[in-house]
Amino acid sequence: MRDVSSHNPQHELTSVADHRAKVASLLTRTPVESRPLENCLGLALATDLVAPISLPPFSNSAMDGYAVRSVDLTEATQEEPVKLPVSEDIPAGRVDVPPLQPGTAHRIMTGAQLPPGADAVVPVERTDGGTGTVALFSSAQPGAHVRRAGEDVTEGTVVLTTGTRLGAAQLGVAAAVGVAELPVHRPVRVLVLSTGSELVEPGQELRRGQIYESNGLMLAAAVREAGGEPTLLRFVPDDVDAFHAALQEHLDSADLLLTSGGVSAGAYEVVKDALAGNGVEFTKVAMQPGMPQGCGRYRDAFAVVTLPGNPVSSMVSFEVFVRPAMLAAAGHATTSRHVRQAVLAGELTAPTGKRQFRRGVFDPATGEVTLQGAPGSHLLGSLAKANCLLAIPEDVTDLPAGSTVDVVLLD
């Protein structure tokens, strides 16, 4: 039975949750492949990474100084230093480190292997820096300035879990345990196609009545930021044949087509004309911006999500519907942005029965959010200045200053 609670009976609008679920169901998990670390940035790990070695792999010095037995230094003070013969010099990377005999010191560098028998390091600043004999001006606790083998990562334990997004630190630790390749989900391959006879390529001359094409580039960038692999197609005019022609050579190579424009109620709605009744369903979602939406499958080939043409509608729709679906398909354990509760700096009003996403600037220092621009879905300049979206629930129409609102952090 249909879930009437998530449907708006007043306007027969599809709920945000229903459309999100429908879009998510169109994408299946991408296959797993092994990639060199340098090609894994932003992708999701497909299996747990078990550490083949411990980190540190061997006990080593945290300071440039002298490896000692702490019991030899119990009497050392600034006034009466303990003097020890220096029997070895151990730079980082030396592999043949002889044991430390009682009553002697080894000069040692940061990262160098601690000799057997030593249990502490005295930094060079607390010595006279001698190379034949060294005067040590302070005692040392056992373990002082020693980085113990395995204190960070233990061999055989899970160092990264399945579904982890591989950022700089995660790739770093994979390299540190000696792994050269990782199993990852291949990125979702996304075609991006803008439609509209008013569109002109940036850099070209603009005549009154025309606008520069911006959605294509913007959505392709959003796809890449979400770990996907975009192919930005040359935009097409409001012409059904041109629309189909643009897609022909990509039928076997894409997972998803994102269109923008041509889906509302006008006379020249090329996306609707090309796709309605052809595997794609169009609907109105209880959301502002982003009311006209559609999704389905193109000729049994790739999934399709048709985004509205207004630039802010396009981007907000990508955030709400496409980004989480793409991340799930690419194996990411976390598919949502960070959401914070913020204090609204001014008042706002919102339409009844629709989830509204307003652009805002969130200040993490004060916990306050300030509206950035009006609600209009053409106000791309405002979106570019925002760092968050305020998510106003469907049943909220007025919020006074000082109210608590959810903000979706965009960076």
List residues binding ligand LQZAQKY5 (CB under 6 A). Answer: 194, 196, 198-199, 211, 213-216, 260-266, 269, 289, 291-292, 308-311, 313, 377
Separation CA 72–CA 377 (nearest Å): 75
| Between 30 and 377, CB nearer to ligand LQZAQKY5 | 377
- Burial environment of residue 39 by CB neighbours within 10 A (0 to 12, 13 to 18, 19 or more): exposed
Query: Using CB distances below 5 to 8 A depending on partner kind, what does residue 30 bind out of ligand MOO, ligand LQZAQKY5, none?
Result: none
Separation CA 313–CA 284 (nearest Å): 13
Spatial CA neighbour of 321 closest among 100, 25, 97, 4: 25
Query: Using CB distances below 5 to 8 A depending on partner kind, what does residue 72 bind out of ligand MOO, ligand LQZAQKY5, none?
Result: none
Please give the residue ranges that form the binding site for ligand MOO (CB under 6 A).
288-291, 308, 310, 313, 377
Query: Using CB distances below 5 to 8 A depending on partner kind, what does residue 139 bind out of ligand MOO, ligand LQZAQKY5, none?
Result: none
What is the spatial order of strands in the sheet that 65-68 belongs to?
Answer: 120-123, 65-68, 105-108, 82-90, 133-136
Minimum Å gap between C-beta 44 and ligand LQZAQKY5 is: 30
Minimum Å gap between C-beta 260 and ligand MOO is: 11
- CA 176 to the chain's CA centroid: 21
Minimum Å gap between C-beta 199 and ligand LQZAQKY5 is: 6
Tell me which DSSP letter residue 318 carries: I
Strands 82-90 and 105-108: parallel
Query: Using CB distances below 5 to 8 A depending on partner kind, what does residue 263 bind out of ligand LQZAQKY5, ligand MOO, none?
Result: ligand LQZAQKY5
Instruction: Note whether 35 and 72 are within 8 A (CB).
Output: no
Beta-bridge mates of residue 231: 191
Minimum Å gap between C-beta 393 and ligand MOO is: 17
| Between 274 and 320, CB nearer to ligand MOO | 320
Instruction: Note whether 320 and 287 are within 8 A (CB).
Output: yes
Separation CA 244–CA 396 (nearest Å): 42
| Between 137 and 268, CB nearer to ligand LQZAQKY5 | 268
Query: Using CB distances below 5 to 8 A depending on partner kind, what does residue 311 bind out of ligand LQZAQKY5, ligand MOO, none?
Result: ligand LQZAQKY5
Query: Using CB distances below 5 to 8 A depending on partner kind, what does residue 228 bind out of ligand LQZAQKY5, ligand MOO, none?
Result: none
Task: State both tokens at 27.
Answer: 């994408």
Spatial CA neighbour of 66 closest among 128, 8, 3: 128
| Between 23 and 291, CB nearer to ligand MOO | 291
Strands 339-344 and 368-371: parallel
Minimum Å gap between C-beta 18 and ligand LQZAQKY5 is: 18
Minimum Å gap between C-beta 288 and ligand MOO is: 5
Beta-bridge mates of residue 165: 44
Query: Using CB distances below 5 to 8 A depending on partner kind, what does residue 115 bind out of ligand LQZAQKY5, ligand MOO, none?
Result: none
Query: Using CB distances below 5 to 8 A depending on partner kind, what does residue 81 bind out of ligand MOO, ligand LQZAQKY5, none?
Result: none
| Between 50 and 211, CB nearer to ligand LQZAQKY5 | 211
Query: Using CB distances below 5 to 8 A depending on partner kind, what does residue 199 bind out of ligand MOO, ligand LQZAQKY5, none?
Result: ligand LQZAQKY5
Separation CA 27–CA 326 (nearest Å): 7
Question: Residue 198: helix, strand or coil by DSSP?
Answer: coil
Instruction: Note whether 250 and 230 are within 8 A (CB).
Output: no
| Between 159 and 291, CB nearer to ligand MOO | 291
Q: Length of the chain, please? A: 411
Minimum Å gap between C-beta 5 and ligand MOO is: 23
Minimum Å gap between C-beta 191 and ligand MOO is: 21
Minimum Å gap between C-beta 382 and ligand MOO is: 13
Which residue lies nearest ligand LQZAQKY5, judged by its C-beta?
A: 309
Spatial CA neighbour of 386 closest among 400, 375, 399, 401: 375
Instruction: Note whether 355 and 408 are within 8 A (CB).
Output: no
Q: Where are the beta strands (DSSP E) in 22-104?
A: 32-36, 49-50, 60-61, 65-68, 82-90
Minimum Å gap between C-beta 250 and ligand MOO is: 26
